[in-house]
Structure 1
């Protein structure tokens, strides 16, 4: 007995729908979903407008997006407790390499690639060469959304520093001669602090720059010496820039974005300068989108669509922002000329023409892998930072 053509068509449509249903994880939302996004990297400065553009474009998929900021060191423990309780209060985390690494070590994040690679067609080919290397740090647990060839650099007040250090030895000598005038933030919660920590083994010629426990003898010895002339270690970079701008400190370690953006915002005087170390290697940095395990299945298709949206060139062009994570875009073929006019104006006024040559002249390295990065943070906390609280 033959089915009518109309019934056959309906059956065919149903079969396609069931196939799509299964491919998406087996759940559909009854209507628009509410998404909770937690930012532990300051990434919303670069991407919030893109999130809002997605909400505006797809009101049938998203009813609202709630944004929250949190300190990177505290988030993994919170998510672990949440998952142990069978709760899912966070749908997307925007993180730097710090909480990314901690979450990988604690098995907190969904495995996006290759487990769900059909949801992200050709995504790895979209990344520019530098960002592509950074993407490997996620080990498939996240997708890189912004990129910065970071540092370490020194930022200083030229009215008080006439001959900025160009080597770690000169930095130590300057700090010893000017106690309490150099400051940097705890590396576990600071991009500049992290770049400085991971850049020193290359500058000092340590035995193994990828092994902070057994290969950084020179680095740990240097940091302990430097500790004697540093007043304390703020919990984040914003506090460092505030003190630098107010004049209570004359120098700090920085990265490209944390140099440009505070000057654009008027927190640090525009005339402050940066100095690269003579034999530096750029320790690149990136922000990632990760999804905690336990997110309801009916939200995942929307989350995947949102992630792809954020990686499209029009949204990537927004990440030039006010120079906060300079340059910003992680994907190919997103020139500054495609950025919003305001971003172009800010970078023309507060960007540094010398950065292009500096980025080209010095080698680039990726940050430590997750296990080693966590070990480096713990060792710094115990052997360097903790000494100031005794």
Structure 2
């Protein structure tokens, strides 16, 4: 806490004019962060230069950990000033190893827009444990996506899905926990089969008997577990697989953009699904100067402003600033949303008709992924 107070005092004295910061996005959604947020930020804050880059969670984590071990944290010489990452096992490692700067509530005075986050965003903030500001949040699923050209009677329950998979070898696939959609599927199975009602710090994934029985029973009919969700999307688009688990909004974007057949691609919830909140967080690695921290906070605040959050409608995602009035949003944004956001998968519908729960806490999440690797993965990921 003493160090935070010192940094706060320094922030009040420093200027961000001419500051250059590097932003690394490991969460995806470049169409929003790069094409919308970054371009608009350049216009609003020409005094700050932002260099945009992408990585995967594991690579970024390894790099940041190496910088800490090399003593760069103490010298304020880390290479990245701002991170966008989804919650998941690697996020858990970053928190566990104390690699990120605590942001909430310490730096709220530099982020007035964050004070106007929606209730949904504040629910997600719990996952970030004060080290990340939610930038994109949804009741993600998992949903199942199928191609109606090949699947005439989609399974409605877990038992029906298990039966369908056994009768259609290699036509169902799910990713490893290293992939976004694979991680979401692994989160979704324990509440779906009844091992948990909601996740808590006391959960021991090794005791999720029904989860591991179900996944072991379908394993002989699953050819692989890709570590990139994009691989599954490509296989589905090419007709190699017919059903796979996916994020709600991401699926709808794939239809809208024509990445999968829009007329025959269908997304739905299995009976008994408890949709899980998934989030992207903006975070600041430790080891940055006060000037760089202040510039990063300026970017985060801009990203959560009503003017930027309303632009999410074009990407079928809910704005996270409570000051956004969707009814008064620009007509072109509302038209896109009304045309492509499927009524039965829109966030307001999901929250009204399903019990939405938080994902497993970071330590439980890590154990869940590790247990999957021991019991199911066995060299296939």
Scaled by the length of structure 2, the TM-score of the pair is 0.88
Match of 1:54 in 2: 41
Compute the RMSD of aligned alpha carbons.
Answer: 2.4
1:293–1:20 Cα change, 3 Å: closer
Distance in 2 separating the partners of 1:322 and 1:207: 32
CA distance in 1, matches of 2:285, 2:18: 20
Structure 1 residues 26 and 360 mapped into 2: Cα distance closer, same or farther (>3 Å)? closer
How far is 1:314 from its partner?
0.6
Q: Which moved more, 1:254-263 or 1:47-56?
A: 47-56
SS at match of 1:148: strand
- Secondary structure of the 1:219 match is helix
SS at match of 1:368: coil
Instruction: Give per-residue Cα distances to partners, 1:258-285, cap 9 Å, x unaligned.
Output: 2111112211000211121111111011
1:77-99 Cα offsets, whole Å, 9 max, x none, are: 21111222214111111010023
**Which of the residues 57, 61, 64 maps onto 1:76?**
61
Question: Which of 105, 121, 135 is the matching residue for 1:114?
Answer: 105
Work out whether 1:38 is the aligned partner of 2:24: yes
Structure 1: which 5+ residue stretches go unaligned? 1-18
Distance 1:185 1:344, change over 3 A: farther
- What secondary structure, in the 3-state scheme, does the structure 2 residue paired with 1:159 have? coil
2:243 maps to which residue? 251
Match of 1:167 in 2: 157
- Number of matched pairs: 364
Unaligned runs of 5+ in 2: none
Larger gyration radius, structure 1 or structure 2: 1
| CA distance in 1 between partners of 2:157 and 2:312 (Å) | 32
Q: Structure 1, residues 208-240: CA drift from partner, whole Å, max 9, x if none? A: 752252441111221122221111111111111
1:129 pairs with 2:115: no
Pairing of 1:289-300 with structure 2 (within 5 A): 289-300=282-293
TM-score after normalising by structure 1: 0.86
Shift in Å, 1:337: 4.7
SS in 2 for 1:67: strand
The offset of 1:133, in angstroms, is 1.0
Q: Any residues of structure 2 matched to 1:338-357 within 5 Å, and which?
A: 343-356=333-346, 357=349
* Cα distance in structure 2, aligned partners of 1:29 and 1:299: 10
Structure-2 change in CA distance of 1:188 and 1:27 (3 Å): farther
Cα distance in 2 for partners of 1:359, 1:255 equals 15
Aligned counterpart, 2:128? 138
CA distance in 2, matches of 1:171, 1:154: 10
Q: Once the 2 structures are TM-superposed, how far is the Cα of residue 342 of structure 1 from its aligned partner?
A: 5.3
Structure 1 residue 30: deviation in Å? 7.5
* Residue in structure 1 matching 2:260, options 264, 268, 291: 268
Partner of 2:195: 206
Structure 1 residues 366 and 40 mapped into 2: Cα distance closer, same or farther (>3 Å)? same
For residues 1-390 of structure 1, what are the structure 2 equivalents within 5 Å?
23-25=9-11, 28-29=14-15, 31-48=17-34, 49-60=36-47, 62=48, 64-85=49-70, 86=72, 87-98=77-88, 99-121=90-112, 123=114, 125-190=115-180, 192-207=181-196, 210=199, 211-271=203-263, 272-323=265-316, 327-337=317-327, 343-356=333-346, 357-388=349-380
